[in-house]
Structure 1
Amino acid sequence: MLEIKPIFHALCRSKVGAMLLLIQIAITTAIVSNAAFIIQDKISFLSQETGYPEQDIFLFNVMTFGKDVNVTQQFELDEAMIRQLPGVVGAAMSSSAPLTGSGSASDFSLKPAPQESLSVRTGYFFIDEHGVNTYGVKLIAGRNFTEEEVVVTDNFEKQANVTIVSQALLTELFPGENGLGKTVYFGDIPLKIVGVVEKMMGPWLKDSRPDNLAFIPFINATSSANFVVRTEPGQRASVIKQIEEAMLNNYNKRVISRIRGLDESKAEYVAQDKLMMRMLIVLITILVLVTALGIFGLTLFNISKRTKQIGTRRALGARKSAIINYFLVENAMICCVGLVLGVIVALLLGQILMQYFSIAALPPSYIIITAMGVFCMSLLAVFGPAKRAANISPSIATRTI
C-alpha cells in the first residue's frame, strides 16, 4: 500500500522544502531539455558533410607589392609551379574560400534583373578550370570548364557565360526537372549551367542556404589574392613547409601569409559554436548534480526529523521495504508535480528561443526523455537515504521514554 494520503499530509507540514525541490526539478527539466536540443543541433551542425577533403586542402594569401610584373600572368605561373610540387594534386586562385565565414553571395535568378522571377541566394567563387579538381568536389553531371571559357581580365567589362553549380542550388532553381544546360542569371549576366557538383558548401555554414554554391570561371587578379591547394592524403604538412619559399623563389616582391588548412579555417569559424556546446554540457551536468544533491539532502533532512517516527513504525512491525517505499513515493509525488511544471516551462522557453534566436521548435521527444531522466535520477538520489532510514532500529522509539 502506497499510503498516499499520509505522505501528502506529511509534505504539507514541511512544504517549504518540498516547494523548493519542486521548483528545482521544474527548472532543471526546462533548461536541460532545451539545452540538450541545442547541443544536438550544434553536433549536427559541426559534423555535417561539406563535400571537401578538408584534411588535404590548405589556403594562403598573397600580397604583391612589386610593380615590375603583370600580377595576372604571375599568378598563372604560380599556379603551374605549385601543381608541379611533389604531393600536390591541384592548385587554383579563388576569390574566396569555403567554410571560412568570409565570401561573396548574390541572387541567382531565372530571369535577368530587374525582371521578377524565382531568385535563390547563392554563394559564388570566381575560379578557373582547376577549381573542381583543387577543391576535390564530385562532378555528377555535365562537365568542367574549358580553358577558353575562363575569363582573365583586369576589369569587369567582360564576363563569363558559364557556371558550375551545386546539386542543392540546381534543385531549388529547377525543382522536379533537369536544369543542366539551362541558363540562370547572375544579376543581368546570363550563365549557362555546364556542370553539377554533388555536394559543396559555401563560405557560411550558418547561412540560410549553406550548400547553394556556384563556380564562375572569371579571374580578375589584383595585388591581393587567395590560393587554394589540395595535396595527396598525408602530404599537406610537407607541402605547407615549402610553399612560402617556393612562392618567393618564383617572385620575391610579395608577402605570403595566413597559411592554414581548410579544416583549421573551419574550426576557427565554428569556434563559438563549440564553446557554446561545451558550456551547455557543463550547465546540464551542474544542474543535474545540484538537483540530485537537493533531493539527497532533503531526504536526509526528513529522515533526521522523523527518526523517532520511523523507529516507532519499525517497532510496530513495518518492514524495511515499507520505509524505503515511503520515501520513494514521497519523492515521486514531488517529482511528478515538478515535471508537469517543468514541461510547461520547457515549452514556453522553447518558444522564446525560437522567436528571438531563430532556433528550431523544441521536439516533444526531448522533453519526454529529459522528464524520464530527471524522474529516474530523483529515485536514485533518494534510494540511498531511504535505505539508511530503513535500517533505523525499532529501539530508537523508546530512547526518550
Structure 2
Amino acid sequence: MEVRFGRSLAFCCALLILFAGLSHRSTEAQGSVHAASLPPVEITLLTEDGGRADWSHALDLIAYDRMGSDGYYDVHLMTPQGVEGPCITCDNPLLPNRNIGNPAWHPYGAYLAIQVEKLAHDGNPASASPGLGINNDIWIIRRDGQQAIQITDVAEGMGVLHPHFSHDGSKLLWAERVADGSNPSGLWLLRLLDLGDPARLDRHAMQLTSYAPMGLAFYESHGFSPDDTQILFTAHDMLYTPNRSWMDIYALELETLRLRRLTYSPAVWDEHAQFSPDGQYITWISSQGCNCYPLDPRDIATELFMMRADGSEKTQLTTLNAALLPGMPNQVAADHAWNAAGSSLVLYVQDASEQRPLEGKLVRVDFPAIGTGLSQEDHGME
C-alpha cells in the first residue's frame, strides 16, 4: 500500500484537542456569501424517514439508508418522485445484520458501495451508525443483493466513512480512521482503491493508495470531479489554526497532489461537498450566517450552498431555518447527491438534537430556472 503525504507530518506531534477554547457563535464570515442572490429552488419532500443518499445517473434511482424497527439502518431504493422501492440489505444473509448505510452507486448501476457495521465489536451503538462509521467496514453489494464483497477489515475502534466511486467506475474513495488521537475524532486517511476491471470486482486485482494531504488529521471524503482528476473532502483545519479546528472544504489533484482550500471560515461548519455534473460548480452545506453554535448538536443549523469550482461566488441555495415555529428543531442540511442532468439533487435534512443518531428526512431540491443543467451562459449564473 502506498501512502502519499502532501505536507509534512511534523506538526502532528503538537495536535491539540480539536475544539479547545471555542465558545462564540457562527456568523457569516468574510462577507463572501451572497444570500441576496439566491437562485430560485423548489423543495419537495420525498420521505420523512430518510438518511444518507446517492442518485444513480444510470438508473435514475435513489439509494438511501433508513433506520428500521430493529434499531439498525438498512439501504433502500426510491424513485426521484419518492416512490419507495425494495430494501436491498434487510436480513441479507451475506451481510452482518447490524447498521448498514451510506450507499454510493457504481456508475454502471449494478453495484453499490456501503458501510457495514461489524457483527461483533466493543463500541457503542451510536458511534457505529452510518453517520459516524466507527467499527464499520466498506463493502460492495450487487443491486439485487445477491453478491457482496467485503473491502476493508478495520481494527477495533477504527472505522470508515462516505465511500464514493469515480465516474469511470475504476476507483473507490473513502475516509478511514487509522489511529486514536489527542482529539475526539481520531486520525484519519483518505483511501483510494483501484478496482482493476470494474465489471469483475476481483479483490486480488485491487490496489490501495492512501492520501494525507494535511498530514494525519480528520478527513471526510466527498467524491470526484467529473473528469476524476480531483477529489473533494472535508478536514479539520489543524494546519492553519492549531488551537481552533473547524470543518472546511478542500480539493486535491490526485496526480500533482496540489491542494486547494475552497472555504476558509474558522468559526463555521462546512461539509458534504459535491461537484455539479458539468464540473462548473460545487454544492456543500454550511452554518454560514446561522447565528448558532455549530458544535452544539442542539443549536447547529446548516443550509445548502453553491460556489464555482474555484471557490468563488459562494451563494446560499436554501432557507430551511428561515421560518421555524417555536419549539421546532433547527434544520441541518447534510449529505446530498446530484441527478445526471444537473437540474435536481436529493438532500438529507436532519433535525438538530443531542441524541444520536439524528432523525431526518429526504427532500428533492429542484432548479426550475435551470431545467437541464447548470449553464451560466443560458441562465444568468454569472
Using structure 2 for the length normalisation, give the TM-score.
0.22
The answer to which structure has the higher strand fraction is: 2
